[in-house]
Structure 1
């Protein structure tokens, strides 16, 4: 399929990014908005969404968010949505109506994710879906070098780093690192494969777009589609709420956490959800250091994530919700 041109021009209403990714928001002729995401300066393009055809189209009457699949545009991907600001941006607006909008968006996202998680994962020979790219970057950082890694190891100790990598392997095994090939004679070595579902791979407040007026909430979907435990998507969103509560003390996300899990429904393992939340916060810390550079603020993150690892992210899962 021929790619559309990269959207530019006077209709741009917002643009931001890091060395990992650039986001550009434009007004669309139909009154909606175009969200274009392209490779950052430290990433070789183009961005692709090869498994986007697996994403289900959810009817309007389900109360679920629209899982928007992108079109190729230049070196990036283009989504058509009804809003110009993400749920992450709306959370910085302290008006009660803004928080109600975020709550509605999280519930819609939870319903959409439950449907996505029910989509059968294609066999590897048809479409090899690995772990989400975010976990790949986390693994590369853990096995690499750099100031953040050295300072984290000095604070955490090697045992905490190993626990993190073990949780990543349980939630979304990496075919190369986490599964050891079988010897010529004998059983397969290494951990048992996790129960695999189709997962969003980057279910994020920044990818959750409430409509500006009418229409459906949208969850930008496609680029990070992967195979893994469904708890990973839930923990990714809950981890962002945990981080928000830490960085913004007057924010209490307990009601939003509870609402997200209740809207998703029964089934997720709360232990795995909590561990996934920790992986999200550590991935954000690691991405910040990699794509924006060292900042002394990261020293606080290192201490904070040590606490999260020790408690296995239990603060992300309100009591009584499982």
Structure 2
């Protein structure tokens, strides 16, 4: 992190700090009682973070029940978000108290409403937005080399990898002008990294849920964002039993409302889990734990991520 990125934090209490080779996060307590989330590039990322399409993000009133789409300001080589909470929904999911579960459910419902509003924004022709960076990294991994790719291809076979890349093209094609149409016939603005790690519940009753938004804004199908969040819940239920996240999956989809194609939502959930596996190997290195992920993602591909969409919800 550059010294300039720390100027905003002079005299402020540091609440948490963590990161990987891909990204770094620092959370400080703000003078007004809120919190400042600084996100910057990790040591393996040479360029600063930017949010060039943040001006397209809608401002959602409190009475909408939607999460604040918290767009950032530049701070050094990173981005600074002002929110009402000090921990993400991902952290609250590790708390097994009923009130913590209720807080996560409330946050996911708020996120569903905010994503619905975000997806109502068409992408102007003069704004150059392609696929989310996560899908770009996934495609680069699929075309590259390395231990994870070698072992994955040996286990999956080439047909599964081809199917996965086809789903990525459905969700957000690599070539922006050829973007797949939504049901309304136009490209829409997608969050690009809708995640329980980017979803921040308020610490007190007076605050609003926030979804950190900006860096990964992209053009694509709305199902991509829903699948991204649902894929994380599916992964959690698999990786950390006794988590059963079907109730949380249902909360998100019901709050978002009708319209998304459940098949594309399920496929997007698979894209999220594979992207997490690939990012782990790229930015943290090989670990034998990834052998389990290779087998798990093969199952997800074969079922097209259907477990991400609870029965009766579409």
Which range, TM-score by smaller chain?
over 0.9
Q: Secondary structure at the match of 1:251?
A: coil
- In structure 1, the residue matched to 2:113 is 111
Indicate the RMSD between aligned Cα atoms, in angstroms.
1.5
Structure 1 position 45, deviation (Å)? 2.2
Quick check: 1:66–1:219 contact (8 Å CA) kept in 2?
Answer: yes
Gaps of at least 5 residues in structure 2 are: none
Provide Cα deviations, 1:260-314, integer angstroms capped at 9, x if missing partner: 1000000000000000000000000000000000000000000000000000000
Structure 1: runs of 5+ lacking an equivalent: 180-191
**1:57-96 aligned within 5 A:** 57-96=59-98
CA distance in 2, matches of 1:122, 1:258: 32
Q: Is the 8 A contact 1:171 1:194 kept in 2?
A: no
1:44-59 correspondence runs (5 A): 44-59=46-61
Q: Is 1:205 aligned to residue 196 of structure 2?
A: yes
Does the 8 A contact of 2:237 with 2:244 survive in 1? yes
CA distance in structure 2 between the aligned counterparts of 1:8 and 1:145, rounded to whole angstroms: 40
> Residues 178-207 of structure 1: CA distance to partner in whole angstroms, max 9, x if unpaired?
96xxxxxxxxxxxx8343211000000000
Give deviations 1:242-264, integer Å, cap 9, x for gaps: 00000111110010001110000
Which residue matches 1:27? 29
Secondary structure at the aligned position of 1:206 is classed as coil
- Name the CA distance, whole Å, in 2 between partners of 1:53 and 1:245: 36
SS of 2:279's partner is helix
- Distance, in Å, in 2 between the alignment partners of 1:199 and 1:220 is 13
TM-score (structure 1 length as normaliser): 0.92
- Matched positions, count: 305
Q: Distance in 2 between matches of 1:133 and 1:5?
A: 23
Q: Match for 1:276 among 257, 268, 281?
A: 268
Are the counterparts in 1 of residues 180 and 221 from structure 2 also a CA contact under 8 Å? no
The aligned residue for residue 254 of structure 2 is: 262
Distance 1:116 1:289, change over 3 A: same
1:235 aligns with 2:222: no
- Given the alignment, which residue of 301, 305, 308 partners 2:300? 308
